[in-house]
Chain A
Amino acid sequence: MKKSTTPIGMLLQVVVNIVVLLFTLSALFPIVWMVYTSVKSNPDFSLNTISLPTSPTLENYANAFEIGNIGSAIFSSLLNTVIPVPIIILFSFIIGYFFSRIEFRGKKLLMVLFLAGMMIPIHALLVPLFVQFKWFGMLDNRFTLILPYIAFHLPVAIFLFDSFIKGISREIEEAAYIDGSSFDNTMFRVIFPICLPIMSTVAILSILGTWNEFSFALVLNKSSDLFTLPIWLTFFSGQHTTDYTGKIAGLVITSLPIIVMYLFFSNKIMSGMTAGAVKG
């Protein structure tokens, strides 16, 4: 750290630290407020919005499970994350491998098609996907959201794998082939394990995306036992408009797994979300 000796330098240092500290606090405060308000009772909350809980209670959480049936929403959210994410990793690895290693006709076109999935505003697909799924009788099903969640996360994941595999030396595969390794064996047993770092990035980004997804879950599933957490939130706050602390407990339940994951993998998440941007 550079030591400033002049008075102006020291003043500048104080100002910089205070400004950044204010930003940090403004980013953190609403989240911290949310967490401690979730253990306040409604009367306590009405008395003072901002004070710390005088007698912390888990009543809001108990209500969310007993009255709000949030357990089923947690299950749906978990299911819609646990099934798509490994498939996203597998598929995007395969396509990424083909893009970075194999020469074939139509590769450019294929890349453009996947790139298109990254560029189009995904909401443009909301109406047509609804109609298409309705036509195939695929609405309102446990597994309705799995396919869209896989497809929507493929493009970014593919390009992450593609650029990662490009950095792996081709000699590894050549050596494997000379040793008699088949195509499949080379791809899955030799290259796949090397991709572990980018695999975890793809996994984390996909988990964030599927867990937080709102609009397709809203449109494609209408029965309450299939609600994921974000939809459950809108449903609950529509039903219990004045149960503020109950709603806030729901917000905490929805965000806590994500926040915990973030605290463990913050660097991975930051580099993953900005990788494309900085290279581009």
Chain B
Amino acid sequence: MNNSRLFKLQAGPLLRYLVPILLIYSFTVLVPLVLSFYYSLQNESVTQFVGLQNYMALVKDSDFWFSFKNNIIIAVICVIGQIGIAFVISSFFMTNMLRMASLHRIAIFLPVVLAPVVTGYLWSMIYNYRLGILNWFLNLFNMEPVLWLDNPDYVLYTVSVPLVWQYIGLYFIIFLAGMQNISKDVLEACEIDGANWYKKTVFVIFPLLRNVMTVALTLCITGTLKVFDHIYVMTGGGPGRSSMVMAQYAYNNAFTMSRLGYGSAISIGMLILCAIIVLVMFKWIGGEERG
């Protein structure tokens, strides 16, 4: 029997397997995506075609851009907090000085598997004004309790902390796996050459992790641009609009205010902005590589 026939698609398997699965996938992912675009061209109650009117409104909608700005701020905090800290910890793991490394590894990754809703509620308890852990500590030092989640001045930072807390472990494990993939010869060679931990990390490990770093950055940024569960649970975008993010804004429009057309337009706007940011990022990283 020859190979090319062996691994060619026959009509039977095609109809039995490929078509049904593809239908289910299309019905729940592809059709809605097209529908989303269609609805974004309709009026509020989806009864009339209004062309690009929703998009015109979206471009002028200061609330939408405000939530986009919030998303960007959260993304910056998460890139520094998650990727930065995770990189430092994982480079500590490469020093061979650490005791009980595998226990630390398991503990640091644990929050990653929690439901975002659980993390959100857990942290809103930690932030609780009267009974929260943080204010309990402040009280210990005779300091005034703080309204962690109700002050527009810093609510954006306080809602970012649980995100950082939950996902440090993910990037930590990604970096650790990447670092363990680096050839032992390289690391030994630079130790023989007398490089200390700092030099080894900055000049040898970091450049060799470029690809892993790119993936981590992409994951982190796309992840924070679509953040929803944590915010919904902790503040719902409030107080006022001070911790509003794009996904929450789309949800509010579509489901609280029943503006399905505009809600769809926000979703599409979100998709486009995410795509632009990822493309710009790839371009930027790619350009640096050549330079």
Contact = CB atoms under 8 A, between A and B. Distances in A.
B123 A50 contact: no
Interface string A146-165: 01101110100000000000
Contact of A123 (B107, B113, B123, B247): B247
B12 interface: yes
A208 B122 CA distance: 18
A244 B116 contact: no
B228 A274 contact: no
Interface centre among B32, B98, B109 (most CB of A within 10 A): B32
Interface in B223-239: 225-226, 228-229, 232-233
Contact of B24 (A150, A183, A215): A150
Contact of B121 (A132, A211, A247, A259): A247
A273 to B, nearest CB: 7
Best-buried of B24, B108, B110, B116 by chain A (most CB within 10 Å): B110
B121 A148 contact: no
A248 B125 contact: yes
Contact of B117 (A16, A20, A103, A230): A230
B122 A34 contact: yes
Contacts of A266: 106, 109
B114 A120 contact: no
Interface in A96-137: 98, 101-104, 110, 113-114, 116-117, 119-132
Contact of A125 (B29, B105, B114, B233): B29
A202 B24 CA distance: 19
Given A16-B97, A103-B7, A27 B107 contact: yes
Interface in B203-226: 211-212, 215-216, 219, 222, 225-226
B18 interface: yes
Q: Among B7, B29, B31, B173, which residue has the most Cβ atoms of chain A within 10 A?
A: B29
Interface string A180-216: 0001100100000000000000000000100110110
A233 interface: yes
A280 B110 CA distance: 24
Nearest to A267: B106
A167 to B, nearest CB: 16
Given A2-B96, A124-B33, A259 B46 contact: no
A131 B6 contact: no
A255 B92 contact: no
Contacts of B125: 34, 244, 247-248
* B interface secondary structure, majority: helix
Interface residues of B, number: 99
Contacts of B183: none
Interface stretch (A52-60, A62-70, A170-178): A170-178
Given A121-B271, A230-B115, A132 B110 contact: no
A81 to B, nearest CB: 12
A219 B99 CA distance: 47
B270 interface: yes
A31 B110 contact: yes
A34 B125 CA distance: 9
A230 B118 CA distance: 8
Contacts of B29: 116-117, 125, 151-152
Contacts, number: 276
Nearest to A250: B121
Contacts of A30: 111, 122-123, 126, 133, 165
Interface string A77-106: 000000000000001001100100111100
A169 B50 CA distance: 56
A224 interface: no
B113 A102 contact: no
Contacts of A75: none
Contact of B8 (A103, A130, A269, A278): A103
Interface of B: 1, 3-4, 6-10, 12-14, 16-18, 21-22, 24-25, 27-33, 35-36, 39, 46, 85, 89, 92-93, 95-99, 103-118, 121-123, 125-126, 128, 131-133, 136, 165, 168-170, 173-174, 177-178, 181, 197, 211-212, 215-216, 219, 222, 225-226, 228-229, 232-233, 247, 250-251, 254-255, 260, 263-264, 267-268, 270-271, 274
10 contacts: A17-B98, A20-B92, A23-B85, A27-B110, A121-B270, A127-B267, A244-B125, A251-B122, A278-B177, A278-B215
Given A19-B92, A23-B168, A251-B118, 17 more contacts: A17-B99, A19-B89, A24-B103, A27-B108, A28-B107, A31-B122, A49-B131, A98-B9, A120-B33, A125-B28, A183-B10, A214-B229, A244-B131, A254-B118, A262-B110, A270-B105, A274-B174
Give the 7 A-B CB pairs with smallest separation, nearest first: A212-B115, A104-B9, A121-B226, A151-B28, A128-B36, A128-B32, A230-B117
Interface of A: 1-2, 4, 12-13, 16-17, 19-21, 23-24, 26-28, 30-31, 33-34, 45-46, 49-50, 91, 94-95, 98, 101-104, 110, 113-114, 116-117, 119-132, 147-148, 150-152, 154, 170, 173-174, 177-178, 183-184, 187, 208, 211-212, 214-215, 218-219, 229-230, 233-234, 237, 244, 247-248, 251, 254-255, 258-259, 261-263, 266, 269-271, 273-274, 276-278, 280
